[in-house]
Structure 1
Amino acid sequence: MIFLTKIKNHIAVICIGFGLLAAAVVLFSWAYGYWSNGLYGTHFQIDSCWQGISACGMGLVGLFKWLVDSSKNSPVGIFPNNNERKDDK
């Protein structure tokens, strides 16, 4: 339980770390593919690197959307109710 609380409290640092790691992996893959295509004719598709970074970016956007929806759209400690609208009060 303490582990999950620590993750929740440090989610921004975790996301930044994940983004930097993903960017480093993509940069390394792109550099390897670029040089191996030129030197060894490996036919590495460099576009696949950018597809990978796009997938990581979309995952982070989904995570940020979930965090904002979870924390900002309902009062603390109250489970959101889909049947009750703010206009009805």
Structure 2
Amino acid sequence: MLWHVIQDGGFQLGKLLEVHLTGALRLDKELALSEMLRHNIGVLHEPTAFGKTVTAAAVIARRQVNMLIRVNRTDLLSQWNEHLQTLPMRGQ
């Protein structure tokens, strides 16, 4: 099953990727990942320092498609981008 992106009230297939997260997840992130994978769409809403970036990267790696990440400030966007660059991922 592919991850779908909501766009203008409809669904659009995501861009297929070939990426792999090579690190292990802590139990709390693994539980969040399992719950997110049960649904086609959703919001990961967790407190600061939970590991939302790592969990989202795991969703991308498991689904093998890109995903929409929405933040409300440009500094958070920069933070996500910087953190994603440091994760143990390989592939595209």
Whether the TM-score (by the shorter chain) exceeds 0.5 is no
TM-score of the superposed pair, with normalisation by structure 1:
0.27
Give the number of the structure whose alpha-carbon radius of gyration is greater. Answer: 1
TM-score of the superposed pair, with normalisation by structure 2:
0.27
Bigger relative contact order, structure 1 or 2 (CA pairs below 8 A, ≥6 apart): 2
Q: Which has the higher helix share?
A: 1
